[in-house]
Amino acid sequence: MKKNILRLKIIQIFRKHLLSKKDSEICTDYLIKAELVEAKSHGLVRLKMYCDRLQKKLINPRPKIKIRKISSSISHIDADNSIGFVSADIGIAQAIKNAKRTGIGLVAIKKSGHFGLSSFYAEQAVKKNLIVFCFTNAPPALAPHGAKKSLFGTNPICFGVPTGKTPFILDSSTSLINRGKIRQAHKLGKKIPYGVALDKSGKITTNAKKALDGTQLPIAGFKGSGLAWMVDILSGVLTGSNHGGKIKDPFDDFSGPQNVGHLFITIDPKVFVGKQFMKEIKKNIKLVKRLPKAKGFSSILYPGERKNKLYKKNLNKDISIPKKILKEINQLHAV
């Protein structure tokens, strides 16, 4: 489907669910961008989920988002059960503003929801020549090391830094694959890779439904479990949001709002080394890229380069949508 037609359709769907024009455009642009960078697990496959939660009044379409100033560098945002895209967009803008003013910005957000890809918010800060960390927690999917019950989310860790060219942005879930990919596989009737998830009985499964009912495996064993716990503390405990397995699954649990937490940390790299920072980061990247290539590699990419190339490649192409997802879009548009 042509991007401009699709964009108009998705905006109209969000407008029908009572979001403002501005908020509808923000949500639509994030979903379409996920498609363009080929992170389809965070794109249109999630549209119905957001609409279901809006319809059941578990997402507030017209939130009164409050920004509490704690200091010139620190802000605490009450998202009023807003859709995550909107509250996070406000949060990263505030974090950028704080860092530009004082050298560092720290913004905590509570009473929010799933906000898509962390990299999209990191990119905004990096484009303003800031270093950035983004944290958000998620519904139970990982068992803590030594336990057999899921408690932590696939809690992503995201770090970004300006390079003078393509932004360096590392955005990684603390599970071997993100939960969205398993959701997408289940919805489209596909198998998941071997060795990324266990079923209820603790056996490795390639069945997406059994994986959703079971538990996902963390990156690097107990280290990944520890990182997921760290993110739960930073974005849940610290912000005043749900944590410790209390975040509701947006697809399956309609008993109340999610109360997801986000934490943004922005740093002006000039505070320590001034203009020397950009010179040194370029040198750092060049050193890595000049290393001898391993077999099968023609180049060494830094985090963010591949996604940027995909975005540019797909920017002027039609967006390919699976029949099942297209049917959902058409049904939501027709309501």
Question: Strand 74-78 and strand 104-112: pairing?
Answer: parallel
Instruction: Establish if 278 belongs to a structural domain.
Output: no
**Are 196 and 190 in contact, with CB atoms under 8 Å apart?**
no
Instruction: Establish if 183 belongs to a structural domain.
Output: no
Give the pLDDT of residue 335: 77
Q: What is the pTM of this model?
A: 0.95
When divided into structural domains, the chain yields a total of 1
Q: Which two tokens stand for residue 13?
A: 């769907």
> Which residues 6+ apart lie within 8 Å of 259 measured at CB?
81, 110, 111, 112, 241, 242, 246, 247, 248
End-to-end C-alpha distance for the chain, whole angstroms: 20
C-alpha closest to that of 115 among 311, 290, 292, 258: 258
C-alpha closest to that of 51 among 254, 195, 314, 303: 254
Instruction: Give 10-residue mean pLDDT values along the chain (335 residues).
Output: 96 98 98 98 97 98 98 98 98 98 98 98 98 98 92 98 97 96 94 96 95 95 97 98 97 97 98 96 98 97 98 96 96 92
Instruction: Establish if 182 belongs to a structural domain.
Output: no
DSSP string, 105-126: EEEEEEEE---S-HHHHHHHHH
> Which residues span the domain enclosing 130?
3-175+218-272+314-334
Instruction: Establish if 284 belongs to a structural domain.
Output: no
Instruction: Establish if 238 belongs to a structural domain.
Output: yes
Q: For position 161, which CATH number holds?
A: 3.30.1370.60
**Are 289 and 300 in contact, with CB atoms under 8 Å apart?**
yes
Instruction: Establish if 14 belongs to a structural domain.
Output: yes
Give the pLDDT of residue 73: 98
Instruction: Establish if 308 belongs to a structural domain.
Output: no
DSSP string, 67-78: EEESSSSEEEEE
Longest dimension (CA), the chain: 57
CA 69 → CA 62, 76, 259, distances in Å? 22, 7, 21
Instruction: Establish if 226 belongs to a structural domain.
Output: yes
**Are 254 and 51 in contact, with CB atoms under 8 Å apart?**
no
Give the pLDDT of residue 148: 84
48 burial level (CB within 10 Å; 0-12, 13-18, 19+): middle
CB atoms under 10 Å from CB of 287, counted, come to 9
